[in-house]
Amino acid sequence: MSGVGLHPGDSEVTAKPSEASLVLDLDPPRTFGLVDQVALWANLGVSLFGPVTAAFVLAPTGTPMSLVAAFSALGVGVILGSTILGLAAVPGARTGAPAMVLMRGLFGRRGSAVPTGLNILQNIGWATFEVVVIAEAASRLTDDSLRPLWVVLAGAAATTMAVRPLGSVRALRKVVVWLVLAASVYLLVSLLGQPMPGATEGGWDGWMLGVDAALAAGGVSFAPLAADYSRHSRTSGAAFTGAFVGYGVASAFYLAIGVLAFASIVDVGGDVIAALLAVPAGALALLVLAVDEVDEAYANVYSTTMSVQNLLPRLDRRLVSMGIGVTATALALGMDIAGYQNFLYLLGSVFVPMFAVLIVDFFVVSRGRWDLSGRARTRVAPIAAWLLGFVTYQLINPGYVDAWATPWIALRETLGLYPPAWLGASLTSFAVAGLAMALLGGVRRVGRP
């Protein structure tokens, strides 16, 4: 395996620098131990998007499932999603390469430009969304006229954290995680005190769709970012465990809070902020969560920076982060992004089968022997496997961007394919892409002289 100034290895390594390198072709400092990894991913797993997603776990078909069905779907989805996230973190720890540079090993140097460009688009979009969510929560707690101020403050905080990413992780571990833990426990206890429907009231209709929603929230959505942080891990074991345990526990907790909120507080519709404010002293807990939401925005800004450096490795990451932070803040101030959310979900569908291919190829087919240099050749088998998974996803769930969804629906009807309502696109496309990579990789190995 050759890299871009990156030395693979899985031994305990402690580098002198305490902050991330400014350019890509320098070795990353290995400063993250297990506690750092768990704290980082636990903070990223604590998000107001968790309770929002819980509505799709509880009522994926529009009619609420029973609490037993919802929590079982939540558990299965989070375990699967966190496993994928943990496995996506390991290559970064072993090679020292960020996520989109790993795509050179999968698709070749030129081929990596496609997922890199898509990742830049989706991360800027999600950074914008995170800033909007923070500003919305803060304006609910203060005054709506102050929303622009909260947008600017949230964007500035996320950008500052992205400029000093490793120091920010240490600060999260020492301070923020404890405040969030206290607020989280309080919310859970308060919600458990609310009247609930019967545990078996509602049935199991849409259970697989609930698993699919929990799978997306439980780690798959962060897989394209995982190696950007695990590259600073001292061991691959710490990287996997930190992502699996930290993000898994936190995302499960907040999905559970969302399920309980929507099941017990029935007069708020799909407004998760209103549901949390309806809890006694919920305003204080919401304040803590709004502050913690900054780290999701920071993660998206920093990972966008890492993606840009895959294309321009000598560019100073601080300048890139500041430019991206300003862009996300400006979009949050002046752009109506309600319709853009569907476009972001469409971009996310690209990465679900892609990381199935990455995991199977790295651990089973290539066994870590990747060329990550600027001379890495285009590889046909991973591209073909990813395309099969991507097409599978679109045939099951083409999304809600009309110009994109209409041709897929027409193709589905032409082929006579009518996926059952319970079939989840994420899990199915992941399985198809992974199996295709295993088969195509096996054929390639057999065909070697």
Task: Give the separation between CA 71 and CA 253, rounded to whole angstroms.
Answer: 11
Helices 425-446 and 207-217 pack at an angle, to 10 degrees, of: 70
Structure tokens at 293: 């939401």
H-state helical runs in 98-247: 99-107, 113-141, 147-163, 165-171, 177-192, 207-217, 226-230, 236-241
Q: Is residue 430 part of a domain?
A: no
Q: Which residues, other chains included, contact 345 with Cβ-Cβ below 8 Å and sequence gap of 6+?
A: 399, 400
Q: Which residues, other chains included, contact 35 with Cβ-Cβ below 8 Å and sequence gap of 6+?
A: 173
Considering only the C-alpha atoms of the chain, give the largest distance between any 2 of them, rounded to a whole number of Å. 70
The DSSP call for residue 164 is S
What pLDDT shows up at residue 14? 41
Which range of residues forms the domain containing residue 289? 34-355
Task: Give the separation between CA 1 and CA 191, rounded to whole angstroms.
Answer: 51
What pLDDT shows up at residue 385? 97
pLDDT tens-digit readout, 185-237: 877 787 777 777 778 888 898 898 889 888 887 778 889 989 998 998 999 99
Which helix (H) or strand (E) covers residue 325, if one does? helix 317-334
Written as one letter, the residue type at 208 is: M
Q: Is residue 5 part of a domain?
A: no
Task: Give the separation between CA 409 and CA 417, rounded to whole angstroms.
Answer: 9
**Minimal CA–CA distance to 437: which of 386, 379, 394?**
386
In the block, residue with structure tokens 């840009």: 308
Q: Is residue 344 part of a domain?
A: yes
Please check whether residue 355 is in contact with residue 427, taking contact to mean a CB–CB distance below 8 angstroms.
Answer: no
Backbone torsion region of residue 203, taken as left when φ is above 0, otherwise alpha when ψ lies between -120 and 50, otherwise beta: left
Q: Is residue 254 part of a domain?
A: yes
Please check whether residue 93 is in contact with residue 102, taking contact to mean a CB–CB distance below 8 angstroms.
Answer: no
Q: Is residue 81 part of a domain?
A: yes
Residue 285's alpha-carbon distances to 53, 69, 190, in angstroms, are 19, 28, 11
Task: Give the separation between CA 288 and CA 16, rounded to whole angstroms.
Answer: 34
What pLDDT shows up at residue 81? 92
| Three-class DSSP category at 233 | strand
Task: Name the residue with higher pLDDT: 406 or 175.
Answer: 406
Mean pLDDT of 55-69: 86
Task: Name the residue with higher pLDDT: 358 or 24.
Answer: 358
Residue 85 burial class via C-beta count within 10 angstroms: exposed 0-12, middle 13-18, buried 19 and up: buried
Task: Name the residue with higher pLDDT: 309 or 284.
Answer: 309
What pLDDT shows up at residue 443? 59
pLDDT tens-digit readout, 237-287: 999 999 999 999 989 988 888 888 777 765 545 566 666 666 666 676 677
Q: Is residue 371 part of a domain?
A: no
Structural domain total, the chain: 1
pTM metric for this prediction = 0.82
Q: Is residue 423 part of a domain?
A: no
Structure tokens at 334: 């002046």
Structure tokens at 137: 């929560």
**What's the Rg (C-alpha) of the chain?**
21
Written as one letter, the residue type at 369 is: R
What pLDDT shows up at residue 15? 40
Please check whether residue 41 is in contact with residue 246, taking contact to mean a CB–CB distance below 8 angstroms.
Answer: yes
In the block, residue with structure tokens 């992974």: 434
Of 14-28, 372-386, 433-447, highest mean pLDDT: 372-386
Written as one letter, the residue type at 249 is: V
Report the CATH number that the domain containing residue 60 is assigned in CATH: 1.10.4160.10
In the block, residue with structure tokens 């079982």: 72
Please check whether residue 435 is in contact with residue 361, taking contact to mean a CB–CB distance below 8 angstroms.
Answer: no
